[in-house]
């Protein structure tokens, strides 16, 4: 079954063709990221206007790359929510129009659940685990979400907990902004942190009643106070701040997701979302998993960020 996926939840416009929920024959991504950089964050009005410009050529390219025509498509999948309303509407309207004119089924997909599904897509030289790896705990860490799920099947995902304030990626972006590192903050903090390993700066981790909930606004405020206090001193070192901030965020993500696996007696952990590209998170989760016999999976880098292959892939099971 060839499913054409469409994803327009934020600043990326993506279309992909995925066969039988597994093999990505194409995954085209256009982004308006550069248009937002001067503002230090996504401007929804700009994002939705770019979606309108990008959507038709991106879908055309996805079909061309897959060497398929619209007649070869068996169903159309589209991100239904969550996301920016204007951006979502572009993809949904386009997908609905295609579905009506071609008389093919339209499958609405939840963006967060699709981020976890990205682990099961065969993409370039990435070989995914078998679907038998379920049940799993799913950790979704993106610019908009930080959530833990228990996944019995892709039709039955139970939300265990989520952030009570900022998402992990949002914290990376906000801290990068106050360190004057530009947008998005995750990749640059990841890079600088490698040069900033230290034991001197310690930022807190939130303690919450629910073992599965997260909070990152405290560490962000701690970084703000630290910079205000130390900026004029000779020992002020942005790389070290980036490292210590990242350690705090990654530390709590690792601790809670491994604990979730242990408490629910589940030995597979699926990570997804933009922050899953973080090198420290990848390394520390794999190490922690190895120690206690938990298999940790990350999608290939291109499928950590927003993409339509994960939408088309999950739609097959729905």
Residue whose CB is less far from ligand KG4, 128 or 186: 186
Measured from the CB atom, the residue of 20 and 195 that comes closer to ligand KG4 is: 195
What is the nearest approach in angstroms of ligand KG4 to the Cβ of residue 301? 9
**Which stretch in 136-144, 169-177, 202-210, 244-252 sits in contact with Zn ion by CB under 5 A?**
136-144
306 binds Zn ion (CB under 5 A): yes
Paired sense of beta strands 105-110 and 75-81, if any? parallel
Minimum CB separation from ligand KG4 for residue 105, in Å? Answer: 25
Closest approach of Zn ion to the CB of residue 306, in Å = 4
Three-class SS of the chain: CEEEEEECCCCEEEEEEEECCCEEEEEEEEECHHHHHCCCCCCHHHHHHHHHHHHHHHHHHHHHHHCCCHHHCCEEEEEEECCCHHHHHHHHHHHHHHHHHHCCEEEEEEHHHHHHHHHHCEECCECCCCHHHCCEEEEEECCCCEEEEEEEECCEEEEEEEECCCCHHHHHHHHHHHCCCCCCHHHHHHHHHCCCCCCCCCCCCCCCCCCCCECCHHHHHHHHHHHHHHCCCCCCCHHHHHHHHHHHHHHHHHHHHHHHHHHCCCCEEEEECHHHHCHHHHHHHHHHHHHHCCEEECCCHHHHCCCCHHHHHHHHHC
Beta carbon nearer to ligand KG4, 21 or 143: 143
Q: Residue 306 CB, nearest distance to ligand KG4 (Å)?
A: 4
Contact range with Zn ion by CB under 5 A, out of 71-79, 134-142, 149-157, 168-176: 134-142
Strand partners, 110: 81
Q: How far apart are CA 33 and CA 51, in angstroms?
A: 12
Binding residues vs ligand KG4 (CB under 6 A) = 10, 142-144, 169, 172-173, 184-187, 190, 273-275, 277-278, 305-306
Q: Which is nearer to ligand KG4, 184 or 289 (CB)?
A: 184
Q: How many residues bind Zn ion (CB under 5 A)?
A: 2
Closer to ligand KG4 by Cβ: residue 73 or 214: 214
Nearer to Zn ion, 32 or 142 (CB): 142
As a whole number of angstroms, the distance between CA 258 and CA 269 comes to 8
Instruction: Report, in Å, the least distance between residue 143 CB and ligand KG4.
Output: 3
12 binds Zn ion per the rule CB under 5 A:
no
To Zn ion, the closest distance from the beta carbon of 178 in angstroms equals: 23
Site for Zn ion in 139-178 (CB under 5 A): 142
- The listed partner (ligand KG4, Zn ion, none) that binds 161, CB under 5 to 8 Å by sort, is none
* Binding partner of 203, given ligand KG4, Zn ion, none, CB within 5-8 angstroms per partner class: none
Q: Which is nearer to ligand KG4, 160 or 275 (CB)?
A: 275
Based on the shown chain and the rule CB under 5 A, indicate whether residue 7 belongs to the binding site for Zn ion.
no
Cβ at position 121, least distance to ligand KG4 in Å: 15
Torsion of CA 177, 270, 215, 44, to 10 degrees: 50
User: Which residues of the shown chain bind Zn ion in the complex (CB under 5 A)?
Assistant: 142, 306
């Amino acid at each position: 079954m060839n499913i054409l996926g469409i994803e327009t939840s934020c600043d990326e416009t993506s279309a992909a063709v995925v066969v039988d929920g597994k093999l990505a024959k194409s995954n085209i991504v256009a982004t308006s990221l550069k248009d937002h950089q001067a503002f230090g964050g996504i401007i929804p009005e700009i994002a939705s206007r770019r979606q309108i410009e990008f959507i038709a050529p991106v879908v055309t390219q996805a079909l061309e790359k897959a060497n398929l025509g619209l007649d070869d498509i068996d169903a159309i999948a589209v991100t239904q929510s969550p996301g920016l309303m204007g951006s979502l509407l572009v993809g949904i309207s386009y997908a609905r129009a295609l579905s009506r004119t071609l008389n093919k089924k339209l499958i609405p997909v939840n963006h967060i659940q699709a981020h976890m599904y990205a682990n099961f897509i065969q993409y370039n030289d990435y070989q995914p685990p078998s679907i038998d790896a379920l049940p799993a705990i799913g950790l979704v860490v993106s610019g908009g979400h930080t959530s833990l799920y228990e996944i019995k099947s892709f039709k039955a995902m139970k939300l265990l907990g989520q952030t009570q304030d900022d998402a992990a990626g949002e914290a990376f972006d906000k801290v990068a902004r106050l360190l004057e590192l530009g947008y998005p903050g995750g990749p640059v903090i990841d890079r600088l942190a490698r040069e900033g390993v230290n034991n001197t700066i310690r930022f807190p981790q939130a303690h919450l009643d629910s073992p599965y909930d997260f909070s990152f606004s405290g560490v962000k405020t701690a970084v703000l106070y630290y910079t205000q206090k130390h900026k004029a001193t000779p020992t002020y070192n942005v790389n070290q701040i980036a490292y210590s901030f990242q350690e705090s965020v990654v530390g709590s993500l690792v601790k809670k997701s491994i604990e979730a696996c242990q408490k629910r007696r589940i030995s597979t952990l699926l990570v997804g979302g933009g922050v899953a590209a973080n090198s420290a998170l990848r390394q520390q989760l794999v190490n922690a998993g190895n120690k206690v016999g938990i298999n940790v999976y990350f999608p290939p880098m291109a499928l950590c960020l927003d993409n339509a292959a994960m939408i088309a892939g999950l739609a097959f099971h729905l």
